[in-house]
Every structure is written in C-alpha cells, then in structure tokens.
Amino acid sequence: MEELHLLVSSAGGEVCATITGSRKAPDAKYFIGSGKAEEVKLEVEMHHADMVVFNHSLSAAQQRNLEEKLGVSVMDRTGLILDIFSQRAVSHEGKLQVEMAKLDYFSSRLAGLWTHLERQRGGIGVRGGMGESQLEIDQRLIGDRRRSLQAALDKFQRQSQTQRRARTKGSRLNIALVGYTNAGKSTLFNHLTSATAYAADQLFATLDTTTRKVYVEGAGQVVISDTVGFIRELPHQLVAAFRATLEETVHADVLLHVVDAASDVRLDQIDEVNKVLKEIEADNVHQVLVWNKIDLTAHEAGIERDEHGRIARIYVSAKTGAGMTDLREALVELVETQTPQWQKDKKKIEDDWSDDPRFRQVD
C-alpha cells in the first residue's frame, strides 16, 4: 500500500491543501483513483489553486489526463526536483547537467503531447504531405541539442578525471561527505576545512562538488569533498546527468555518510542514500556514519564502535561544534587504517626526501 501526497498550491506558491491517500497500485489513467481525482478537483476549486504537485513520478499520459481533469497545471516529483536543480545550478557544468536531465524528461513527454494534439485536431492531414511532422522536427532539434550537451559534458568529465587522477595519485586519503539533502554536509565541510561552501536550509543547496586539502593534526593532509545531496526517488535522469559529479564519491577512499540525527525518517534516508551509492557503484567504499545535528537530540557527542572495534558512528553537531574533536580523532584513525598500502609507501618516500634539505617539498 503506497502513501500518496499531493499539494494543491495557489498563485503565491503557497500550499493551500495537502491531500494524502493510499492505493495498492497506481491507476493507469490518473495515478490516483477517479474518486480521489474528484476530491482533488473540489479542493482545487475551493482554494482557487493554480497547481497540483504530486509527490510521485507520473507518466506523461497521467500528467496530461490530470491536467485535463483538474483544469490546472500538474507537476510531478521528478519535475519539481528538476526545477529545484535548475534554480540551484551555479557552475557551467552543473547547468549543462541539469539541462541534459530536463531534456530527457521533457522529450519523453513530447511524443505523447503531439499525438494528443493531433488527436484533438482529428489527426486529418497533419502528417500527409507535410514532409516532417512537428513531432519529428522537435525530436530532431532535441537530438541535436543533446549531442552538443553530451560533447560539452564529456569534455568536463575528461578534465575532472585528469584532476582526480592527479589527486588520487597523491599520498593523501580522499574523503567524500555524502548523505541525504539537508543533512548538514556543507556545514560540516566548512567546519573541517574553514571553507565557505554554501550551506542553507533548503533542498539541494549544493550541486557542485567542492574539494579541499585539509591538515589534520596527527594525520597530516587529507583531501575532503563536499557533494550533492541525495533524495528518495532521485530521478534517474538526474543520476545519469550528474554521473560525472557523483564520481568524486566513487573514487573516494572513505565516505563520511552524514545523517540528520534529528529527522524522524533518518533510517529511511540512510537506506535511500545507500541505494543511490549502489546505483553509482560506490557501495564498496569504506563508510562511516556521522550522526549530525545532535544539538537537536539527546545524543552525546562521541565515537561508537562496531564489534570489531572499528569506528561505526560519530555523533557531532556541525552547528555547535560538539564532537568535532572526536571527528578529527576519527579522521586520524581512518587515515591509519584506510590509507592503501601504496599510498603509505609513496608518502614514506616523500617524507624521507622532504627530510633532506636539498629536496624541500613545495606544495
């Protein structure tokens, strides 16, 4: 039985009603049953709403049928997430990735849209004699744009691969902060690196990966990356488009999986993050859970270990700074236990050489 959530929103963008329900299986025509559709229609009319947002993915046909039935525009969860991503994209690469994802999303809806229009017009003479139908023209234009976007993205990917290769060839442990959106990754990143990555109480505040070298007392330098947050049912178009950005995660030596300890659904969020990690083939990277926002819970700061004595969880508050000493201690231990042997060997050689006054290492 699936929970349904719909928001009916007005012109000001405020939510005037939230409708929930549950169904065994989605209805082919409206996603919701026709009785439920009537109920939504009443709410829309009562509140003079302009839009209905579904917290689910809708097929192109369902979206269209609903718009016809309700007389207002209908947005689904994927469309909404794509919209937020478009607003947040800052870097050139981020913008290209979002455009690519949107193109894939809308082109899948285009075919249905045109057959629908043709059906409305009776479909007579639309294709005959015109050479190329509007649908074919649109599909060709989308294909062209897709190819040029892909070429630009491939170029970015080659560049970041080169940069990453330079980094991973180094003797430093690569740590990536991953986690559900709004868990506090950027706040934690700023704490650890004294950087000023954008942190805000909004979904997908971060879209671009930021990487910094950090000196940790007792461990030396490590490389830390702040990454895009994950969300339940992350549209597959976005996972595909953001593959390059997400690769930072795949190539890390250690993942600090940041969890919003104050969230009621934290365990589900952990599962969702692990699902995406599996999808991008990063589920084999050593992972440590960082329970953040303990200032809002009854948790004490500190390190929790598993039955083998390995670090399982670290309780912190990136806001108050509680547990940050524990986190730094954990980093020292992770550097000792997780640094691949070849990196250790390389570092030893570098250190031996740097002792020699003739070979002062410049960084």
Ligand X SMILES: Nc1nc2c(ncn2[C@@H]2O[C@H](COP(=O)(O)OP(=O)(O)OP(=O)(O)O)[C@@H](O)[C@H]2O)c(=O)[nH]1
Q: What share of the chain is helix, strand, coil (3-state, %, to 5)?
A: 50, 20, 30
CB of 272 to ligand X, least distance (A): 13
Using DSSP's 3-state secondary structure scheme, residue 274 falls into helix
Give which of Mg ion, ligand X, none residue 193 binds (C-beta under 5 to 8 Å, depending on kind): none
Q: Nearest CA to 269 among 178, 177, 176, 189?
A: 178
How far, in Å, CA of 50 to CA of 210, rounded? 38
CB of 206 to ligand X, least distance (A): 3
Residue 319 annotated as part of some ligand binding site: yes
Give which of Mg ion, ligand X, none residue 317 binds (C-beta under 5 to 8 Å, depending on kind): ligand X
Counting contacts by CB under 5 A, is residue 245 touching Mg ion? no
Q: Which residue has the tokens 């097929």?
A: 59
How far, in Å, CA of 209 to CA of 207, rounded? 7
Residue 36 annotated as part of some ligand binding site: no
CB nearer to ligand X: pick between 175 and 199: 199
Structure tokens at 7: 């928001």
Out of 98, 205, 214, 294, the only residue in the binding site for Mg ion (CB under 5 A) is: 205
Residues within the interface to ligand X (CB under 6 A): 179, 181-187, 199-201, 203-206, 229, 292-293, 295-296, 317-319
Residue 183 annotated as part of some ligand binding site: yes
| Closest residue by beta carbon to ligand X | 229
Residue 179 annotated as part of some ligand binding site: yes
List of residues 6+ apart from 231 with CB closer than 8 A = 81, 180, 181, 203, 204, 272
Counting contacts by CB under 5 A, is residue 206 touching Mg ion? yes
57 CB-contact burial (10 Å; exposed 0-12 / middle 13-18 / buried 19+): middle
CB nearer to ligand X: pick between 65 and 287: 287
Binding string, residues 149-188; x marks residues near Mg ion by CB under 5 A: ------------------------------------xx--
| Closest residue by beta carbon to Mg ion | 206
DSSP state of 361: P
Using DSSP's 3-state secondary structure scheme, residue 302 falls into strand
Q: What are the Cα distances from residue 165, in Å, to 137, 150, 282?
A: 42, 22, 17
CB of 201 to ligand X, least distance (A): 3
Counting contacts by CB under 5 A, is residue 193 touching Mg ion? no
Rule CB under 5 A: which residues touch Mg ion? 185-186, 205-206
* Binding-site residue ranges: 179-186, 204-208, 226-229, 292-295, 317-319
Binding residue numbers for GTP: 179-186, 204-208, 226-229, 292-295, 317-319
